[in-house]
Amino acid sequence: MQIGIPDDAGPLVATTPSTVSRLTALGYDVVVTAGAGDAAGLRDDAYREAGALVTSDPDVAWESDVVVCTAVPDDVAERLRPGATLIAQLAPAARPERTAALAGRGVTALALDAVPRISRAQSLDVLSALSNVAGYRAVVEAAAEYSGMFGGQVTAAGSTRPATVFVIGAGVAGLAALGAATSLGARVRAFDVRPEVAEQIESMGAEFVSEPAAQQQVSADGYAAPLTEEQLAAALALYTREAAAADVVITTALVRGTAPTTLTAEAVAAMRPGSVIVDLAAPGGGNCELTVPGERVVTPNGVVVLGYTDLPARMPRHTSELYGTAVANLLTLLTPGKDGELTLDLDDIVQRGMTVARDGDVLWPPPPVQVSAAPSAAPASSGTDGTDAAAAAVVAQEEGRRRPAWLGKALAVAGAVLAGLAVAASPADTAGHFVVLALAVVVGFYVISNVTHALHTPLMSQTNAVSGIILVGALLQIGSSSLLVTVLATIAATVASINIFGGFLVTRRMLRMFRRADEDDDGGGRRAGARGAGGGAGAAASGTAAGGGAR
């Protein structure tokens, strides 16, 4: 089958030379329209070297079996041949007429902006990748507009204070903005209506602004529920107060394409002259009442409001690379035989969720997918629904397997008694070793349990070093004349070896998530997708109401 990459008449391109190599390795023929990657610094010769056919005729790409693009023209259905497959951001909820036109043409349409929010689909999540770029670029735009430096400076002539940046929302875009602003030396504060993201914010070096009256727990579908009137009033008061003290405000609240108001005109009027607002929700209308989508506005009191809607496109090289990688990951999923034949499996929830049209039928919206990490409520058996009855039986079975509440306490007491008897029956020097061991366990527990999640990877490296010391000590004791010592040393060496090698394997796998496909160790060009653009925070959050982060 032939994959066509048209010239989208913009700075972005749907694939790069490195991802073309992955597509050809799957058995596809790739056709790239001449000049499609020029704005991203990707020349035609690079595509040719990667195995693509570069053509000056734009119709060749549109007439391919599979067409991948970043910008969808209004007449896309007429450009495609019947039976073709289109992969792009299709906005099926906002543009139902386009989906109907594609279905009427007999086109199979896969929407990259409809990827289910589950872990297995992270490597296909174009929206998260673009939100990451937008959050980073928002800080770049703010730094260019701000009349001072983000980081405080100390000179012989005096010192300057760092800029104060306030970020509304800690989704993918918000966390990316936090990381960029912190790296520039700014004093960064952030708020989100979901209190569980406080740790993610703090792991990025920012300060979480706590306001219990404006916060809520995550809802069952992974998004924050709409705010009550009391919560909304408390949130708006918080935004007004923080914006008045900030030099830069970045808003990221975008709820399923709709932007709730987080900064009122009165809040902007209270800000200092020269302050900057970057509204990342401008594509949905804007979080600020004074935002004009696509425009730069200066208010009467001298506040600059940036409502740019093309922030990812302002960094075309890396945005195209991320977009192309997601496309290559998707086609890898759709080509299990690596024979150049696209095979769509609608029984797969990922593929079904993205498929909005097929065989003349509109398949949007897809069946709901339960993605919340929150525990589900036990279903009530109505006696008439077989599914409910089966679920209730499973719940009952699981409850039957649970240990009684007293059993854990009884085992702990029994273990303590046995340990005490063992110490009492041991020689005096052995009792001292038991005391050291007990203190080490207690201290180690409290130290490790208080380490933030962002530091678990370096902590694992420390435990590998400790396990190495244990392994060396165990090897020295294996040759002991005492059978008991030899047995214990063998067990210690085995356990320490498992910990060491397992730690290295986990670290290797994590590092591979952040490597380019052409740097992958196995040479197969596969790359595990990493969400979350918020650095180590692993932001899996999407847009939430009135202060939730944009996806």
CA–CA gap between residue 121 and residue 93 (Å, rounded): 20
pLDDT tens string 406-448: 777 788 788 878 877 777 777 777 777 777 777 777 777 776 6
Q: Which of the residues 28, 47, 146, 223 is marked catalytic? A: 223
396 or 533, greater pLDDT: 396
pLDDT band at 405 (very low <50, low <70, confident <90, very high): low
Residue type, 464: N
- Among 252, 38, 18, 266, smallest CA distance to 142 is for 252
- Among 167, 206, 202, 164, smallest CA distance to 186 is for 164
| Mean pLDDT of all residues belonging to the chain | 83
pLDDT value of residue 216: 75
Partner residues linked to 472 by β-bridges: none
Structure tokens at 163: 């800029």
Partner residues linked to 198 by β-bridges: none
| Known catalytic residue at 125 | yes
Residue 394 has pLDDT above 50, yes or no: no
Q: What is the DSSP letter of 258?
A: B
412-429: burial string, b at 16+ Cβ within 10 Å, e else: eeeeeeeeeeeeeeeeee
pLDDT tens string 313-328: 999 999 999 999 999 9
pLDDT band at 378 (very low <50, low <70, confident <90, very high): very low
CA–CA gap between residue 450 and residue 164 (Å, rounded): 29
H or E element at residue 96 = helix 96-104
pLDDT tens string 14-38: 999 999 999 999 999 999 999 999 9
pLDDT value of residue 48: 97
pLDDT tens string 205-256: 999 998 889 887 655 544 556 778 899 999 999 999 999 999 999 999 987 6
Residue 530 has pLDDT above 60, yes or no: no
Structure tokens at 71: 């910008």
H or E element at residue 447 = helix 428-449
Residue 537 has pLDDT above 90, yes or no: no
Domains of the chain: 2-124+316-362 (3.40.50.720), 126-310 (3.40.50.720), 426-510 (no CATH)
pLDDT value of residue 441: 76
Query: pTM score, two decimals?
Result: 0.69
pLDDT value of residue 458: 61
What's the distance, Cα to Cα, between the start and end of the chain in Å?
33
- Among 313, 308, 299, smallest CA distance to 279 is for 308
The string of DSSP letters for 266-316 reads HHHHTSPTT-EEEETTGGGT-SBTT--TT-EEE-TTS-EEE--S-TGGGSH
Q: What is the largest CA-CA distance in the chain?
A: 89
Of 40-44, 234-238, 301-305, 507-511, which gets the smallest average pLDDT?
507-511
pLDDT tens string 109-132: 999 999 998 888 999 999 999 999
**Phi, psi (deg, nearest 5) at residue 179:** -65, -40
Of 26-40, 75-89, 139-153, 225-239, which gets the smallest average pLDDT?
225-239
pLDDT tens string 57-71: 999 999 999 999 999
CA–CA gap between residue 331 and residue 327 (Å, rounded): 6
Whether the link from the prior residue into 379 is cis, omega within 30° of 0, is no
215 neighbors 113 (Cβ within 8 angstroms): no
Averaged over 369-387, what is the pLDDT? Answer: 47
Residue type, 263: L
Structure tokens at 287: 């979080």
pLDDT band at 548 (very low <50, low <70, confident <90, very high): very low
pLDDT band at 403 (very low <50, low <70, confident <90, very high): low
378 or 136, greater pLDDT: 136
Q: What is the DSSP letter of 193?
A: S
Q: Which of the residues 18, 64, 128, 467 is marked catalytic? A: 128
Q: Which of the residues 79, 117, 358, 527 is marked catalytic? A: 117
Of 266-275, 307-316, 510-519, which gets the smallest average pLDDT?
510-519
Structure tokens at 117: 């929010």
Residue with tokens 């990877």: 457
| Known catalytic residue at 45 | no
| Known catalytic residue at 128 | yes
Q: Which of the residues 21, 64, 122, 200 is marked catalytic? A: 122
Q: Which of the residues 7, 125, 192, 247 is marked catalytic? A: 125
Residue with tokens 């009191």: 301
Averaged over 364-369, what is the pLDDT? Answer: 88
CA–CA gap between residue 192 and residue 548 (Å, rounded): 5
pLDDT band at 527 (very low <50, low <70, confident <90, very high): very low
**Phi, psi (deg, nearest 5) at residue 226:** -55, 145
Residue 395 has pLDDT above 50, yes or no: no
pLDDT value of residue 434: 74
Partner residues linked to 3 by β-bridges: 30, 66
pLDDT value of residue 223: 55
CA–CA gap between residue 98 and residue 119 (Å, rounded): 29
pLDDT value of residue 531: 37
Report the residue count for the chain. 551
CA–CA gap between residue 314 and residue 11 (Å, rounded): 8
252 neighbors 197 (Cβ within 8 angstroms): no
Residue with tokens 């259905």: 77
CA distances from 201 to 197, 360, 374, 393 (A): 6, 46, 20, 41
pLDDT value of residue 515: 66
